[in-house]
Structure 1
Amino acid sequence: MAKHTSDAAEGAPRRGRPRSIETTNAILESAYALMAATGLAATTIDAVARHSNVSKMTIYKWWPSREALLIDAFLHHAAQMLPLPPASAGTPAARARRHAVAYAEALQGEFGKVQLAVISECISKTGSAELFYARYLQFRRDALVEMIAAGQRDGSILAQAPAEDLYDAIYGSLFYRYVFGIAPITPAYARSLVDLVLRPKG
Structure 2
Amino acid sequence: MAETKAPDSTRRSERSRRAIYDAALALVTEAGYARTTIEGIASRAGVGKQTIYRWWPSKAAVLLEAFLDLGVQASEALGDDAGAGIPDSGDLEADLKYVLRATVDEMNDPKFDGPTRALTAEGVVDPELCARFVEELLEPQLQLYVTRLEAAREAGAVRPDIDPRLATELFVGPLTHRWLLRTRPLTHDYADRLVEYALRGIAPR
TM-score, L = length of structure 1: 0.76
Q: Does 1:168 align with 2:169?
A: yes
Measured in 1, the distance between the counterparts of 2:125 and 2:103 equals: 25
Which residue identity does 1:73 align to in structure 2?
A
Which residue identity does 2:89 align to in structure 1?
G
Instruction: Please list every run of 5 or more consecutive structure 2 residues that lacks an aligned counterpart in the other structure.
Output: 1-9
Residue 59 of structure 2 corresponds to 66
Instruction: Please list every run of 5 or more consecutive structure 1 residues that lacks an aligned counterpart in the other structure.
Output: 1-16
Residue 50 of structure 2 corresponds to 57
Q: Give 1:79 deviation, angstroms.
A: 4.3
Which residue identity does 2:115 align to in structure 1?
V
Residue 90 of structure 1 corresponds to 89
**How many correspondences in the alignment?**
185
Measured in 2, the distance between the counterparts of 1:159 and 1:116 equals: 36
Q: Which has the higher contact order (CA 8 A, sep 6+)?
A: 1
Q: Give 1:46 deviation, angstroms.
A: 1.6
| Superimposed CA distance per residue, residues 28-73 of structure 1 (whole angstroms, 9 cap, x where no aligned partner) | 1221111112222332112211222222111101101122112222
Residue 181 of structure 1 corresponds to 182
Question: Taking structure 1 as reference, are residues 106 and 87 closer, same or farther at Cα in structure 2, changes over 3 Å only?
Answer: closer
Q: More deviation in 160-169 or 109-118?
A: 109-118
The answer to whether the 8 Å contact 1:75/1:136 transfers is yes
Measured in 2, the distance between the counterparts of 1:143 and 1:19 equals: 35
Q: Give 1:93 deviation, angstroms.
A: 3.8
TM-score, L = length of structure 2: 0.75
Residue 142 of structure 2 corresponds to 141
The answer to whether the 8 Å contact 1:159/1:198 transfers is no
Residue 194 of structure 1 corresponds to 195
Aligned residues: percent identity? Answer: 26
Q: Does 1:106 align with 2:106?
A: yes
Which residue identity does 1:104 align to in structure 2?
V
Which residue identity does 2:120 align to in structure 1?
I
Residue 5 of structure 1 corresponds to none
CA RMSD of aligned residues (A): 2.9
The answer to whether the 8 Å contact 2:28/2:36 transfers is yes
Residue 25 of structure 1 corresponds to 18
Measured in 1, the distance between the counterparts of 2:181 and 2:87 equals: 35
The higher radius of gyration belongs to: 2
